[in-house]
Structure 1
Amino acid sequence: MKKEPFRLGIVPADAYRERRKAPGYDWVKSIIVCAFPYRQAKAQGRYLPARFGYGSDYHAVLSAKLEEVARTRGLSRYEILVDRSAFDEKLLAWLAGLGFLGRNTLLITPEFGSYVVIGTILTDHVFPEYSRPLEASCGECDLCVKKCPSSALAGGFNRESCLSFLTQVASEDFPRYDLLKDAYYGCDICQEVCPHNRGKDEYLREFEFSDDSVLTLAEMESLNRKTFQEKFKNKNFAWIGYLKMLRNIIVLEANNNNINIKKIEYFQKLHADAPWFYRHMEYLKKRLKNGAQ
């Protein structure tokens, strides 16, 4: 049986505390950090999430795998954290020697490139040996900076300009949404152009692409807030909710010339109780009316 691909490193908690505060975690002596790969060939279909949304929700997947790590290590007191925590996961991953922080602000690992999701185990266990940070960098390469369509990496990372961030929030920076082309959740552009990701194609089987990752406007129209959550409860994009996902799909349809003003107006009236959604639909109507694509 093939061994599952992932990287593991261990950080003394004090090494983290020297750089960041960690209130409420005085009991923690060590932090186990794991990076799990998810890169696979780009799927076909309209519309899709970024690759980290192709398969099962990584929060649940990593939680289960980290429980197994804790069990095999014989830990007694521990706490598993995936994504949502008071700890800086990327800093921990660097301290654990899993990779370096790239110009695209992502962790870049030697084995899997930047297509990894990170999980941590806090524990009171003291280990005989700890990992050391990896000394590496992007060098002079700035492909991700040049290729980012929203210039989110120019002069440092601007989260509010990042297309991945915009797909997850109710922002009213409407013109930036015009840059979306095929991804309704997340964005892989800065990873797709990164030289460190060439030839990297390992991923956990739980992250393998599933057909329910393809979303259409017709399907969104058949759903509502409740049924959306029920249908996609095992997907990591479910948390953004029905209305933001509907907004994303409508924007993509408009950006690809697949929707008319009448249809946008239909959804605008249907969800007029959400001011941000109403205003975004109004923006799209004016844009289409003026012929600006």
Structure 2
Amino acid sequence: MPASALDLVALTQSIKDWGRDLGFQQVGIAGLDLGEHEQHLERWLAAGYQGEMDYMAAHGHKRSHPEELVPGTLRVVSLRMDYLPADTLMAQRLGDPEKAYVSRYALGRDYHKLIRKRLQQLAERIQQQIGPFGYRAFVDSAPVLEKAVAEQAGLGWIGKNTLVLNRKAGSYFFLGELFVDLPLPVDPPQDREHCGRCRACLDICPTAAFVAPYVLDARRCISYLTIELKGPIPLELRPLIGNRVFGCDDCQLVCPWNRFARPTAQQDFQPRHSLDNAELASLFLWSEDEFLARTEGSPLRRAGYERWLRNLAVGLGNAPSTIPVIEALQQRREDSSALVREHVAWALERHAQASTGGAARP
């Protein structure tokens, strides 16, 4: 059916209704002009804040021009899905240095597959209604400025911690996009930010990764260090990581808007293998086969076994000098990975210094 014959207003409302039926908490329609976000990205890249994430500089202007990434695109349907499990005791786990802290988005199954499947189902419902149309679905899987798109679609504003914030839902949600060749009416963009004078996220960051409001130096961000960085974690940052072994939620934990965050109803996002209450020492003893079995379908696979052990070694180096901590580290002194051995040696040296009254722990 040609677009001129469609009731685009009614179709847009149907798309939002279907999106909610599929488990998304909000759906918005964005145009293609991402305005100053392109210049912000270029300044960020010029400063080198992307670190080893070379893909952030790839693809030319396709990241900020949806119509170049997918020719024929006229609108972007932006959707958000809450992921925060209930009662995962974030502050308590961070305050227990022998526990492993895993970012709450990574406790359950990998969100990419679930959201991509739901986006495909949404596209099929549209197709059942209007016939064939052009579309592509993306979930953090292509050069898309998804936070800018979400802001343009009215889903929230990009806060000082560089995350999308929503006045009714905080920031614990995933984003997905459906690029379409339909001239749907766009939603009013979020043209105001509501952070005000608050700088709680900037002040809480353990590694001082925010060089200014709205500007993150990824090279100091714990999420980058524990997930994206392939080599050794810089020495000066290791003590600051504490027990965070995969990602970091500190800047969300202190955000006042997250008092409105609601627990997810998605069973796939519930904690698996007790990762919301696991001991560093016990995780460090997983064999590679155990790691692969217990992280099947999990975001933790992104780090891989070697970097998982690297991260845990740092956590153990920051933990109290208990018998389980020291014994776990000693069992991997001769690990086959040079990367793991280096971080184990650092951790054991930290404990040796502490036991002899040497250099104080930062």
**Alignment TM-score, normalising by the size of structure 2:** 0.72
Whether 2:243 is the aligned partner of 1:243: answer no
Asked whether the 8 Å contact 1:90–1:101 carries over to 2, the reply is yes
State the match for 1:27 in structure 2. Answer: 72
Q: Deviations over 1:41-99 (max 9, x none)?
A: 44256324111112211111111111122122226322111112111111111111100
State the match for 2:27 in structure 1. Answer: 8
Q: Which amino acid aligns with 1:164?
A: S
Residue 193 of structure 1, CA deviation = 0.5
Asked whether the 8 Å contact 2:37–2:148 carries over to 1, the reply is no
1:218 to 262, 278, 282: 282
Q: State how far apart, in whole Å, the 1-side matches of 2:164 and 2:121 are.
A: 23
State the match for 2:201 in structure 1. Answer: 144
Asked whether the 8 Å contact 2:313–2:347 carries over to 1, the reply is no
In structure 1, the gaps of 5 or more residues are none
> Residues 158 and 171 (structure 1 numbering): CA distance in 2 closer, same or farther, change over 3 Å?
farther
The structure richer in helix per residue is 2
> What secondary structure sits across from 1:213 in the alignment?
coil
In structure 2, the gaps of 5 or more residues are 1-19, 39-60, 63-67, 94-98, 355-359
> What secondary structure sits across from 1:267 in the alignment?
coil
> What secondary structure sits across from 1:36 in the alignment?
strand
> Residues 5 and 123 (structure 1 numbering): CA distance in 2 closer, same or farther, change over 3 Å?
closer
Q: Deviations over 1:120-166 (max 9, x none)?
A: 11122222x11221123211110111111111114231111111211
Q: State how far apart, in whole Å, the 2-side matches of 1:38 and 1:208 are.
A: 8
State the match for 2:251 in structure 1. Answer: 190
Q: Deviations over 1:180-219 (max 9, x none)?
A: 3343211111001101111322324121223342544334
> What secondary structure sits across from 1:285 in the alignment?
helix
> Residues 184 and 260 (structure 1 numbering): CA distance in 2 closer, same or farther, change over 3 Å?
closer
State the match for 1:267 in structure 2. Answer: 332
Residue 30 of structure 1, CA deviation = 1.6
State the match for 2:317 in structure 1. Answer: 254
Whether 2:215 is the aligned partner of 1:177: answer no
Q: State how far apart, in whole Å, the 2-side matches of 1:171 and 1:204 are.
A: 38
State the match for 1:131 in structure 2. Answer: 187
2:175 to 84, 96, 118: 118
More moved, 246-255 vs 145-154:
246-255
Tell which structure's C-alpha radius of gyration is larger. Answer: 2
Q: Deviations over 1:217-274 (max 9, x none)?
A: 33442321x5523431211121110111112222222212245666435424222x43
Q: State how far apart, in whole Å, the 2-side matches of 1:54 and 1:260 are.
A: 23
